[in-house]
Amino acid sequence: MGRPGGGCGADLWYGRRVPAPATSACSTCGRRAPRADLFGVEPDLLCEPCARAVRERMFVRYRPLVRTHGQTGTLTLLAIVLPLFVATHLARHGALGDGAWLRALEPWFPIWEGEVWRHVTSLFVHVGVLHVVFNAMALWTLGRAVEYAFGPVAMGLVFLATGVVGSIAQWAMVTAPGVGMSGAIFGLGGFLIPLRTSHPVAAAVMDRRMINMLLTWLVLCVVLTEVGTLRIANWAHGGGLLWGLVLGAAVAHRRRRGLVPLAGLLTAGLLAASPWIALGEQQAVRTWHLWYRERVEPLLARDAALVERARALEARHGDDAGQAREDPEYARVRAEIDRVRAEIEALERTGPPLPPPLRRIQGPP
């Protein structure tokens, strides 16, 4: 009876011949290799040299002309981000009004009042030259890879889905607006990772070096934030990467086609539920903000209106302060101002305390 290492030959196992490893041919060069050493799925299998050639064709460092074929979605995103960054820079320096339109794009307290679209618009806002340059370079690499493999629509959907989930994760944990598309960048990278064994482009782009670079940058950002060097939206990075892995795994299971629409529905559900998502200290901030918005802000608006009315009455009487005080309407307005301010002070004494995150940023929203 044959056994490994016995006299009957190493290709026998207890009388049964061990089959040779299955081989397949590369769809580009025709070279045959064991199936485990090939990238992709039938009939588009690639050997390692051909997979590397795909990568080189996609990411040639020195190319005299930029070819736009197959890069429409990536270029469209860049065409939104870069001009908006210039406008943002001008707005922050007062060149484009008071910057109210810019604050309307950022993820801030109105999210808890239903303005969930801020999780989308914040992806295109950047706060510094290095911020936008690094994100644009990463999008040019990973965005083109996803677009080359799955088309511009799929790339745009993955970009938006992972970016939105990353923004929700950041706002649910930290009282600070996380802006920029870095969460979506990590999401695009995470999307390609589960597809490395089933798609040749994903295998060529997300090799071990690229994965190590992505994870190293993720950890480095956490370290820079913890030591106080930079303020980085690490929850957005982690949330985008995790959701990209989920979407990539859903696409990789082609036999379970319902996973892709399910992941899309989950993304939409998270966006719709984001006004109620707050964890840790952020939950206390949400509670305080909604109380402040409902109880205190109407009184502050009433106080401001009364002050304006009192100033108008004073102006009508000119420099005669005594005549203004004798005016019954002026006396009524001043009494109402005192009553409203006393009510505001009473609410601040009896209401919920100012949460620590808001004390750190000094002042109400």
The CATH number linked to 210 is 1.20.1540.10
Q: Is residue 67 part of a domain?
A: no
Are 26 and 46 spatial neighbours (Cβ–Cβ below 8 Å)?
Answer: yes
**Is there a single domain that holds both residue 158 and residue 297?**
no
Q: Which two tokens stand for residue 15?
A: 């009388």
Closest C-alpha to 113, from 292, 239, 302: 292
**Is there a single domain that holds both residue 243 and residue 312?**
no
Provide the residue range defining the domain that includes 131.
Answer: 72-276
**Is there a single domain that holds both residue 96 and residue 157?**
yes
Q: 224 exposed, middle or buried (CB, 10 Å; 0-12, 13-18, 19+)? A: middle
Closest C-alpha to 106, from 189, 175, 187: 175
Radius of gyration of the CA atoms of the chain, in A: 30
**Is there a single domain that holds both residue 128 and residue 224?**
yes
Closest C-alpha to 149, from 112, 101, 198: 198
Could you give the CA distance from residue 113 to residue 266 in angstroms, rounded to a whole number? 21
For 217, how many CA atoms within 13 A lie in the half-sphere containing its CB? 16
Amino acid at 272: A
Could you give the CA distance from residue 70 to residue 51 in angstroms, rounded to a whole number? 19
Q: Is residue 4 part of a domain?
A: no
Q: pLDDT tens track of the chain, all 365 residues?
A: 444 444 444 444 445 554 556 778 887 788 888 877 777 666 677 787 887 776 666 544 333 333 444 588 899 999 999 999 988 888 877 777 666 777 778 777 888 888 888 999 999 998 888 889 999 999 998 998 888 888 888 899 999 999 999 999 998 888 776 889 999 999 999 999 998 877 777 877 888 888 899 999 999 999 998 888 888 889 999 999 999 999 998 888 766 667 778 888 888 888 888 888 888 778 888 888 888 888 888 888 998 898 888 888 777 766 666 666 677 888 888 889 899 989 988 888 888 887 777 765 544 44
Closest C-alpha to 284, from 219, 226, 357: 357
**Is there a single domain that holds both residue 23 and residue 78?**
no
**Is there a single domain that holds both residue 271 and residue 287?**
no
**Is there a single domain that holds both residue 256 and residue 163?**
yes
**Is there a single domain that holds both residue 95 and residue 149?**
yes
Could you give the CA distance from residue 116 to residue 353 in angstroms, rounded to a whole number? 26
Are 107 and 118 spatial neighbours (Cβ–Cβ below 8 Å)?
Answer: yes
CA 143 vs CA 71, 86, 150, 238, 280: distances in Å: 8, 22, 10, 18, 34
CB atoms near residue 62 (< 10 Å): 4
**Is there a single domain that holds both residue 264 and residue 306?**
no
Q: Is residue 3 part of a domain?
A: no
Q: Is residue 64 part of a domain?
A: no
> How many domains are there within the chain?
3
pTM: predicted TM-score of the whole model, two decimal places: 0.72
**Is there a single domain that holds both residue 221 and residue 106?**
yes
**Is there a single domain that holds both residue 218 and residue 161?**
yes
